[in-house]
């Protein structure tokens, strides 16, 4: 699985003369080095124990895992766009070269990947890119089941603005849209007039499928990942909300990749959501723990030890999912210490109770009332925010139900009914919203 790193200086498939010159130099260097110092095998050190890729429109993440911290350097090259990763004292194994096959044609940013020996003791990994990117490269210390991780996050130069993405989707004509202007004899194309909601105030609900990508969330005994269940339920809930003329839902993530907790909150704020609903599936050490529960934020300690335990576990998602702490300035934006969250929490409790009441119709309730704890993802000061634990994925019966489409639909419907009930009693105030509605 060795591929010549010829494209380090030229586009691949071209300039064979330069390639062979490169190899002559390469082998000479290799023999001098090997003869003068140590046998080549002695220079190989660690191994890549796992290699993963998480492609998404937001960013593509590539993770290399190893037992020892990796010694690396990174180069961003132009014409054509490439990201070059040099790894020291690493063996070339099938795990590393096999990453190339994991890069799908639909990856928004990475075209292909090649591995080659660059010089003695240094392996060069070249990622051929589809466009210019802004890389963030950082390491993560071992946590949970992971060893040392080297993370390459490939961001677009212009990150998609959640609000513009939302507005684009809102303005896009629906398949079933009927243009009222297109009467008999009219030549107006059917798709010319987007169908806009005929209401004075559009309610926007941000739905946040918990976990994703490197962070699978809780695991069921049958191997069900919380991140998969949460996304499935959130997508069904979004479809249900979008059927309402006066409501639209926005997903914080719509794929299998990790989003830092802070980014989830920021996305909801960017679209000026009227409600934030983070969707999860609980786990507990005791497999008989069961039932749905709903949480709101607490400013002063948790309402129970279990709620505190759960908040700590959910807040640890960033450690497992992997957040670049070098980019700290991005996260300083929201220093919440000075902001009172009392009003937000009051509204969140109302929304939470409405949702909990509906969930009681499809599942046992783990707790009869909304609990509170310091969940980081519920800290938008201006958006009522709740976290729904739909069921216990650690309970074998509930895991089975969580996997079924029928049950996912029931849960989505229940949360939807709760949301509707909440807004019926607490209509959002009119505000100087961007002119979404004519
Ligand atoms: Zn969770």
> In what helix (H) or strand (E) does residue 113 lie, and over which residues does it extend?
strand 110-119
- C-alpha of residue 373 to centroid of ligand 1, in Å: 14
CA 83 to centroid of ligand 1, rounded, Å: 33
278 Cα: distance to centroid of ligand 1 (angstroms):
9
Task: From 230, 419, 397, select the one nearest 317 (Cα to Cα).
Answer: 230
The phi and psi torsions of 404 (rounded to 5 degrees) equal -90, 140
Q: Are 188 and 182 in contact (CB under 8 A)?
A: yes
* φ/ψ of residue 341, rounded to 5: -105, 10
Q: How far is the CA of 259 from the centre of ligand 1 (A)?
A: 13
Q: Do domains 5-156 and 162-174+195-324+333-425 have the same CATH topology?
A: no
Is domain 5-156 classified as CATH 2.60.40.3500? yes
Residue 280 alpha carbon to ligand 1 centre in Å: 4
Ligand 1 centroid to Cα of residue 76, in Å, is 36
Q: Measuring CA to CA, which residue among 368, 397, 371 is closest to residue 289?
A: 397
Do 265 and 338 touch, CB atoms closer than 8 A? no
Q: Ligand 1 centre from 19 Cα, in Å?
A: 50
In whole angstroms, give the CA distance from residue 108 to residue 100.
15
**211: CA distance to ligand 1 center in Å?**
6
Distance from the alpha carbon of residue 217 to the mean position of ligand 1, in angstroms:
5
Two tokens, residue 239:
């479809």
331 CA to middle of ligand 1, Å?
A: 21
Ligand 1 midpoint to CA 314 (Å): 5
Q: Do the Cβ atoms of 283 and 221 come closer than 8 Å? A: no
Question: Ligand 1 centroid vs 349 CA: distance in angstroms?
Answer: 19
Instruction: Compute, in angstroms, the gap from residue 376 CA to the centroid of ligand 1.
Output: 12
Is there a contact between 25 and 137 (Cβ–Cβ < 8 Å)? Answer: no
- Six-digit token pair at 433? 């919203």
Q: How far is the CA of 282 from the centre of ligand 1 (A)?
A: 6
Q: Ligand 1 centroid to 104 CA: how many Å? A: 28
Q: Tokens representing 135?
A: 């890389």
Cβ atoms of residues 100 and 112 within 8 Å: yes
Tell me how far the alpha carbon of residue 28 lies from the centroid of ligand 1, in angstroms. 54
The alpha carbon of 309 and the centre of ligand 1 are apart by a number of angstroms equal to 12
Distance 231 CA to ligand 1 centre (A): 11
Interval between CA 187 and ligand 1 midpoint (Å) = 52
322: left (phi > 0), else alpha (psi -120 to 50), else beta? Answer: left
**HSE-up (13 A, CA, CB side) for residue 309:** 7
Relative orientation angle of helices 342-359 and 405-425, to the nearest 10 degrees: 130
Angle CA 190–191–194, to nearest 5: 120
Q: Report the topology of domain 162-174+195-324+333-425.
A: Aminopeptidase (3.40.630)
Reply yes or no: is the peptide bond before residue 249 cis, omega within 30 of 0.
no
Question: For position 186, what pLDDT does the model report?
Answer: 42
160: left (phi over 0), alpha (psi -120 to 50) or beta: beta
Angle in degrees, 0-180, between the axes of helices 162-171 and 261-270, rounded to the nearest 10: 50
Q: How far is the CA of 258 from the centre of ligand 1 (A)?
A: 12
Can you give the residue ranges of every domain in the chain? Answer: 5-156, 162-174+195-324+333-425
Torsion-angle region of 400 (φ positive above 0: left; ψ -120 to 50: alpha; else: beta): alpha
Q: How far is CA 270 from CA 161, 202, 252, 369, 428, in A?
A: 8, 15, 11, 30, 17
Token representation of residue 436: 């979404």
- 413 CA to centre of ligand 1 in angstroms: 20
Centre of ligand 1 from the C-alpha of residue 410, in Å: 19
Q: Which pLDDT does position 16 carry in this prediction?
A: 35
Ligand 1 centroid from CA 238, angstroms: 19
Residue 131, CA distances (Å) to 136, 137, 348, 384 in order: 15, 18, 42, 38
At residue 316, what are phi and psi to the nearest 5 degrees?
A: -75, -5
pLDDT along the chain (438 residues), means of 10: 37 36 36 35 72 97 97 95 97 96 96 95 97 96 95 94 85 52 42 51 95 96 96 98 96 96 95 97 84 93 92 92 71 52 94 97 89 95 95 93 96 98 90 46
Q: How far is the CA of 142 from the centre of ligand 1 (A)?
A: 20
- Ligand 1 mean position to 62 CA, how many Å? 23
Expressed in angstroms and rounded, the spacing between residue 124 Cα and the centre of ligand 1 is 37
CA 310–ligand 1 middle distance (angstroms): 8
Cα 387 to ligand 1 centre (Å): 9
Query: Residue 327: its pLDDT value, please?
Result: 57
Task: Compute, in angstroms, the gap from residue 20 CA to the centroid of ligand 1.
Answer: 53
């Amino acid at each position: 699985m060795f591929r010549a790193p010829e494209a380090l200086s030229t586009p691949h498939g071209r300039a064979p003369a330069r390639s062979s010159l490169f190899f002559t130099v390469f082998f000479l260097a290799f023999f001098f080095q090997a003869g003068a110092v140590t046998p080549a095998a002695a220079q190989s050190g660690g191994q890549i124990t796992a290699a993963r890729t998480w492609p998404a429109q937001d960013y593509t993440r590539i993770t290399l895992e190893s037992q020892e911290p990796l010694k690396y350097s990174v180069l961003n090259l132009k014409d054509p766009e490439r990201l070059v990763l040099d790894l020291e004292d690493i063996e070339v194994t099938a795990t590393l070269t096999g990453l190339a096959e994991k890069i799908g044609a639909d990856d928004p940013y990475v075209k292909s990947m090649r591995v080659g020996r660059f010089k003695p003791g240094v392996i060069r990994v070249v990622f051929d890119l589809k466009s210019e990117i802004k890389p963030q490269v950082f390491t993560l210390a071992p946590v949970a089941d992971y060893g040392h991780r080297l993370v390459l996050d490939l961001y677009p130069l212009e990150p998609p603005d959640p609000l513009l993405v939302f507005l684009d989707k809102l303005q896009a004509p629906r398949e079933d849209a009927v243009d009222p202007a297109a009467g008999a004899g009219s030549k107006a194309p059917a798709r010319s007039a987007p169908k806009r909601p005929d209401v004075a105030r559009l309610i926007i609900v941000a739905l946040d499928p918990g976990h994703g990508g490197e962070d699978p969330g809780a695991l069921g005994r049958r191997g069900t990942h919380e991140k998969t269940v949460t996304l499935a339920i959130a997508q069904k809930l979004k479809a249900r909300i979008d059927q309402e003329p006066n409501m639209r839902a926005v997903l914080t993530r719509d794929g299998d990749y990790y989003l830092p907790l802070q980014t989830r909150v920021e996305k909801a704020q960017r679209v000026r959501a009227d409600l934030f609903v983070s969707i999860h599936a609980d786990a507990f050490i005791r497999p008989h723990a069961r039932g749905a529960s709903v949480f709101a934020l607490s400013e002063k300690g948790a309402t129970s030890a279990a709620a505190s335990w759960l908040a700590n576990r959910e807040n640890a998602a960033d450690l497992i999912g992997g957040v670049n702490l070098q980019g700290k300035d991005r996260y300083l934006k929201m220093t919440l210490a000075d902001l009172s969250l009392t009003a937000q929490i009051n509204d969140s409790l109302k929304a939470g109770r409405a949702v909990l009441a509906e969930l009681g119709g499809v599942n046992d309730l783990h707790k009869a009332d909304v609990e509170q704890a310091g969940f980081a993802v519920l800290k938008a000061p201006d958006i009522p925010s709740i976290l729904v634990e739909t069921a216990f994925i650690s309970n074998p019966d509930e895991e089975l139900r969580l996997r079924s489409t029928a049950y996912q639909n029931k849960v989505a419907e229940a949360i939807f009914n709760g949301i509707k009930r909440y807004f019926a009693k607490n209509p959002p105030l009119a505000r100087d919203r961007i002119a979404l509605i004519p």
